[in-house]
Amino acid sequence: MKPSLDGYDDDKALAAEFVLGLLPEVEIENAEKSIQNDPIFRAEVAAWRDRFAGLVAGVAPVNPPAKAKRAVNVRIFARKGTHASGISGFFIGACTALLIAAAVLVIFLPPKGISLITALSSGQPPLTVLARTEGGVLDAAVMAGGAASGRSLELWVLDDNGAPQSLGVLSETGKLQATLDANLAALVEPGTTLAISDEPLGGAPGGQPTGGFLAASTLVRD
Amino acid sequence: MSREYDLESLIARVAEGDRKAFSAFYSATSAKVFGLLIRIFGDRQPAEEALPEVYFRAWHGAGKYAALGLTPMTWILTITRNLAVEQVRAQRGEGLRDASLSQAALEGNSPGPEVHNVETCLTQLDADRAEAIRIAYLDGFTYELLADRYEVPLNTVRTWLRQSMLSLREYMAR
C-alpha cells in the first residue's frame, strides 16, 4: 500500500517516516531491520533526525527550575528495584511519586535554626519517620511502621550530583541522632533531597545504597 | 564545534556512569530540552514531569550513543521529541480526531541562526506542506490526524507528505 516511488527515493522517504513515527507497525519492523543491516539506510535515518532536530532551533530554550534537577537525580539514582516487569519507566516514576506521598515523614531542622520539613513516603510497607536537625544535630524517629525483620533503615541526603551521602542508620527502635559534619551540614538546605533505603542490618556495607530508595523527597521550610 | 566535542566526551563519560559528567551534560542541554517539552505539551507542568524521564533515557542510552551517528544535540532532542510525542499521542487516544495545534505550529518558528537551514528550506514548500512536516515532528501528528486536518484520504496524505519530505531533503542538500 506504500505509494510508489523509485526504490532509492522510497528508502529516503521511508527513513523520514520512520524518524517521525509515521510508519504502520509492519513497516516499522522492516525499517528496524534495515537500520541494523543497511549502513546507507542507517545514515539516512541519522540524517533525517538531524534535519528534523533543526526545527527545534525556533523553539525558545527555557531553564527548568532547580527542583527539576533534583527530580531528575531521584529518577535516575533512586532506583527502586522491586516493580513488576512490563511497567514502563514512566509509570514506575509516577508510581514512585505516588509512594512518596504515603508513609515516611521526615521533619528536618538545619543548623542555622531554620526549620525544614519534608514528607517521604513508602506504601510497601507503610512507614512514617520524623527527623529534626538543629545546630548541626540530626534527630530522626520512626513514627509508624519500621524496618523489615533483620534489616535496617538508612537515611541519605543527595548531593549536588545526585550522589547519596549517608546521614546515618536508624536504630532497632527506629531512632537516629547524629551530629552532621561540615560537608553534610552544607548540603542541608531548602530543596535538598532526602531519601530512605532498606539495607542489611547495620546499614549499607559499601557506603552506597544496596538496593533502591524506599522513598525520596525534598526539604522545605517548616 | 568544540562545544559539540565537549558534549560528546561528556556523553562518553555518562556511559561509564560518571555523575559529574551527567550533571554537566544536564546543565548544557536542559534549557533546550525543557523548551522543547513545553513546546510539544503546550504546558509547563507536563514538561516538568517528563524532564526526569528524558534524562533517565539519556543516562541509560548513553552507551549506545556512539553507534547512532548523531550529534549530541540531535541525540538528546530526539529522545525528548519521541518521549513527548509518545505521551501526547497516548493522551489523544487512537480514535480522537480533534488534536489541537499549538499556536506556534500555525505561526511557524523563526529560524535560529545555527543548526540547520530546515526552516528556510520549508519556506520553499507550499505552506500546507511545510506545516504538515512541522506538526508531524513537533506535535506528533499521525497520518490519520493529518488526513483529517487536510481533508484528504489517508493514502493521499501519505504520498503528499513523502513527496514534501523528499523535496525538503533536496532543498537542504543544495
Q: Beta-carbon neighbour count of residue A188 at 10 Å?
A: 22
pTM greater than the 0.90 cutoff? no
| pLDDT per residue as tens digits for the range B77-102 | 999 999 999 888 888 764 333 444 44
Residue B15 half-sphere exposure toward CB, CA atoms < 13 A:
13
Q: Measure CB to CB from residue A3 to each of B53, B114, B158 and give the nearest one.
A: B158
B143: pLDDT confidence band, cut at 50, 70 and 90? Answer: very high
Question: How many residues belong to chain A?
Answer: 222
Q: Beta-carbon neighbour count of residue B33 at 10 Å?
A: 28
Q: Do B119 and A58 touch (CB under 8 A)?
A: yes
Tell whether the model's pLDDT for residue A156 goes beyond 70: yes
CA–CA separation, A198 and B88 (whole Å): 36
Q: Do B23 and A162 touch (CB under 8 A)?
A: yes
Chain A residues close to B168, C-beta within 8 Å: 51
In this prediction, residue A93 carries a pLDDT of: 53
Chain B residues close to A71, C-beta within 8 Å: 48, 51-52
Tell whether the model's pLDDT for residue B115 goes beyond 50: no
Which residues make Cβ contacts (< 8 Å) with residue A56, sequence separation at least 6? B32, B35, B36, B39, B77, B81, B115
Chain B residues close to A51, C-beta within 8 Å: 116, 118, 168-169, 172
| pLDDT per residue as tens digits for the range A158-201 | 877 677 889 999 988 888 988 888 778 878 877 777 888 888 88
| pLDDT per residue as tens digits for the range B39-70 | 999 999 999 999 999 999 999 999 989 888 89
Interface test with B, best of A1, A25, A52 (most B CBs within 10 A): A52
The answer to whether A213 and A80 have CB atoms below 8 angstroms apart is yes
Chain-centroid distance of CA B75 in Å reads 10
Structure-derived torsion over alpha carbons of residues B34, B35, B36, B38, reported in degrees to the nearest 10: 80
Give the DSSP per-residue string, A155-201. Answer: EEEE-TTS-EEEEEE--TTSEEEEEPPHHHHHH-STT-EEEEEEEET
Q: Which amino acid is at A172?
A: E
Q: Do A162 and B155 touch (CB under 8 A)?
A: no
Handedness of CA A167, A168, A173, A175 (dihedral sign): negative
Q: Measure CB to CB from residue A51 to each of B20, B23, B172 and give the nearest one.
A: B172
Residue A214 half-sphere exposure toward CB, CA atoms < 13 A:
28
CA–CA separation, B91 and B95 (whole Å): 11
- In a 10 Å sphere around its CB, with 0-12 CB exposed, 13-18 middle and 19+ buried, how is residue A206 labelled? exposed
| pLDDT per residue as tens digits for the range A113-126 | 566 666 666 666 67
Chain B residues close to A9, C-beta within 8 Å: 166
The answer to whether A132 and A114 have CB atoms below 8 angstroms apart is no
CA–CA separation, A66 and B106 (whole Å): 32
In the numeric block, the cell 523528499 is attached to B166
Task: With residue B33 as reference, give the H or E element that holds it.
Answer: helix B19-41
| pLDDT per residue as tens digits for the range A66-102 | 889 999 998 888 744 333 333 444 555 554 554 544 4
CA–CA separation, B133 and B124 (whole Å): 13
What grid cell was written down for A133? 536537625
In the numeric block, the cell 526526569 is attached to B52
Beta bridge partners of A144: A128
What grid cell was written down for B75? 541525540
Residues in A 61-80 with any Cβ partner in B closer than 8 A:
61-65, 68-69, 71-72, 74-77
Chain B residues close to A90, C-beta within 8 Å: 53, 87
Beta bridge partners of A117: A107, A220
| pLDDT per residue as tens digits for the range A14-68 | 999 999 999 988 899 999 999 989 999 999 999 999 999 989 988 999 999 988 9
End-to-end Cα, chain B, rounded Å: 22
Give the DSSP per-residue string, A74-140. Answer: HHHHS--TTSPTTS-HHHHHHHHHHHHTTS-EEEE--TTS--EEEE---TTTT-EEEEEEETTEEEE
Tell whether the model's pLDDT for residue A202 goes beyond 60: yes
In this prediction, residue A109 carries a pLDDT of: 34
Q: Do B19 and A162 touch (CB under 8 A)?
A: yes
Judged by average pLDDT, the poorest of A95-109, A206-220, B14-28 is A95-109
Q: Which amino acid is at A102?
A: A
Q: Which amino acid is at B9?
A: S
Task: With residue B21 as reference, give the H or E element that holds it.
Answer: helix B19-41
A150: pLDDT confidence band, cut at 50, 70 and 90? Answer: confident
